[in-house]
């Protein structure tokens, strides 16, 4: 007995491959005499997907072919899945607070080029960090700030990014690409056109996911940019600095913080980058925080 419409909707919403397979058999059945066989759809789905359709009762035997037990229920389930996808795409939009965070982050980032912003942010951050400077050497201050901003960025990224959904879409895109290659090898122009359309739909969804991925970046910048602006301001305002002017780097020897060591990169920025990258790796492994699709 086939699943009910509600059960089908739940299954299809949770399984993109099942939705694709259901759509394929429905289209094949409607384009013919209402029946379908494995040979009719084998180019557009896997044997495992066909087996799932049989297992859920969507397809039932009709002699040497199969019919969809309840075409209306399947059609409604597919329609509901499309509506849910559209709603999810809308949900990936930025909220008002996200937009405020993004504008604020971009404004702060202008401080690298606009002295007024830098000279305003630098002293304010300096007031907050003076106690830290008083008890730690400057290189440890930079290390502490790099580790702190790294922790904040990792937590924000892990909380605001749906890695499971990203992984599912990536797997779906890989499966579509494989099907497209096979269709091209067979010279099946009809299948190529159908799969390319499906590929474009998935790519549109991925573009929405890319926009969604920028949200944690905006919030992260609210913490990292002020720290970098403070360091930048400190290096440009030696009269304000209570720090040594140089540090001993491994293999490089004693180098001034403002000296260029790699291209235009100055020593202080190199040290911050080393501390940031290293601390982020340690934080990920120590706290076992996911920061990429599985």
Q: What would the pLDDT profile of 197-235 be if each residue is shown by its tens digit?
A: 777 877 777 776 677 778 888 899 999 999 999 988 888
- pLDDT for residue 166 is more than 70: yes
* Number of domains forming the structure of the chain: 2
Question: What's the rounded Cα separation, in Å, for the pair 282 and 175?
Answer: 34
Are residues 18 and 147 both part of a single domain?
Answer: no
pLDDT at 216: 87
pLDDT of 139 reads 83
Residue 48 in any domain: the answer is: yes
pTM (2 d.p.): 0.59
Which of 184-188, 200-204, 288-292 has the least mean pLDDT?
288-292
How confident is residue 258, by pLDDT bands cut at 50, 70 and 90? confident
- Percentage of the chain beyond pLDDT 70 is 79
| Residues 85 and 101 reside in one and the same domain | no
Mean pLDDT of 134-139: 83
* Whether residue 273 sits in one domain with residue 142: yes
With 70 as the cut, is the pLDDT of residue 147 above it? Answer: yes
Residue 239 belongs to some domain of the structure = yes
Torsion over CA of 196, 202, 204 and 210, rounded to 10 degrees? Answer: -140
Task: Say if residue 22 is in the same domain as residue 83.
Answer: yes
For the cut 80, the answer to whether the pLDDT of residue 70 exceeds it is no
Domain stop point among 66, 91, 116: 91
Residue with tokens 């403070």: 230
Quick one: 53 and 108 in the same domain? no
Q: Are residues 133 and 218 in the same domain?
A: yes
How many residues are given for the chain? 294
Nearest to 11 by CA among 66, 68, 84: 84
- Let me know if residue 204 belongs to a domain: no
Q: Print the domain residue range for 130.
A: 96-161+214-287
Residues 79 and 13 in one domain: yes
CB atoms within 10 A of CB 162: 15
Segment 244-270 shows an average pLDDT of 71
Q: Are 241 and 109 in contact (CB under 8 A)?
A: no
Cβ neighbours of 259 (radius 10 Å): 16
Please, where are the H alpha helices in the chain?
5-14, 16-31, 38-41, 47-56, 71-91, 96-109, 115-135, 138-160, 163-186, 189-236, 267-287
Residue whose tokens read 């180098």? 255
Rounded to whole angstroms, the Cα distance separating 15 from 246 reads 58
Task: Return the SS3 of 110.
Answer: helix
CB-based contact 117:110 (threshold 8 Å): yes
Same domain membership, residue 100 and residue 78: no
Per-residue tokens: 78: 């597919």
Coil vs helix vs strand at 158 = helix
In this predicted model, what pLDDT tens digit does every residue of 77-122 receive, in sequence order? 666 555 545 444 444 467 788 889 889 999 998 988 888 998 889 8
Same domain, 127 and 24: no
Band of residue 158 on the pLDDT scale cut at 50, 70, 90 = confident
pLDDT band (50, 70, 90) for residue 242: very low
- For residue 22, being part of any structural domain is answered with yes
Q: Tell me if 293 is assigned to some domain.
A: no
Final residue belonging to a domain, choices 40, 60, 91: 91
**pLDDT by residue (tens digit) across 188-198?**
777 777 778 77
Residue 42 has pLDDT above 50, yes or no: yes
Place of tokens 């399984």: 15
Same domain, 27 and 149: no
173: phi then psi, degrees, rounded to nearest 5: -65, -40
pLDDT of residue 86: 46
Does pLDDT of 282 surpass 70? yes
Per-residue confidence band for 25, with pLDDT thresholds at 50, 70 and 90: confident
Question: What is the structure's pLDDT at 12?
Answer: 62
Q: Which of 73, 91, 109 is the C-terminal boundary of a domain? A: 91
- CATH number of the CATH domain containing 32: 1.10.10
Which residue did the predictor score with more confidence, 2 or 97?
97
- pLDDT of 148 above 80: yes
- 152 and 241 co-located in one domain: yes
């Amino acid at each position: 007995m086939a699943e009910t419409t509600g059960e089908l909707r739940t299954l299809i919403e949770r399984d993109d491959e099942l939705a694709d397979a259901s759509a394929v058999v429905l289209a094949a059945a409607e384009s013919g005499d209402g029946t379908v066989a494995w040979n009719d759809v084998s180019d557009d789905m896997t044997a495992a997907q066909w087996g799932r359709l049989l297992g859920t009762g969507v397809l039932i035997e009709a002699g040497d072919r199969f019919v969809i037990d309840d075409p209306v229920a399947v059609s409604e389930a597919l329609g509901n899945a499309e509506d849910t996808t559209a709603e999810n795409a809308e949900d990936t939009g930025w909220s008002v607070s996200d937009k405020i965070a993004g504008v604020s982050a971009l404004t702060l980032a202008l401080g690298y080029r606009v002295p007024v912003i830098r000279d305003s942010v630098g002293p304010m951050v300096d007031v907050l960090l003076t106690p830290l400077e008083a008890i730690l050497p400057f290189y440890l201050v930079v290390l502490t700030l790099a580790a702190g901003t790294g922790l904040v960025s990792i937590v924000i990224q892990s909380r605001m990014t749906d890695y499971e959904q990203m992984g599912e879409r990536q797997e779906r895109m890989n499966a579509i690409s494989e099907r497209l290659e096979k269709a091209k090898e067979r010279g099946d122009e009809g299948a190529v056109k159908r799969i390319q359309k499906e590929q474009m739909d998935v790519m549109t969804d991925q573009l929405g996911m890319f926009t969604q991925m920028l949200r944690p970046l905006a919030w992260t910048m609210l913490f990292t940019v002020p720290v970098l602006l403070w360091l930048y301001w400190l290096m440009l305002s030696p009269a304000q600095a209570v720090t040594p002017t140089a540090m001993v780097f491994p293999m490089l020897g004693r180098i001034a913080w403002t000296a260029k060591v790699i291209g235009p990169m100055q020593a202080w920025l190199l040290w911050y980058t080393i501390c940031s990258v290293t601390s982020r790796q340690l934080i990920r492994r120590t706290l076992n925080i996911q920061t990429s699709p599985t």
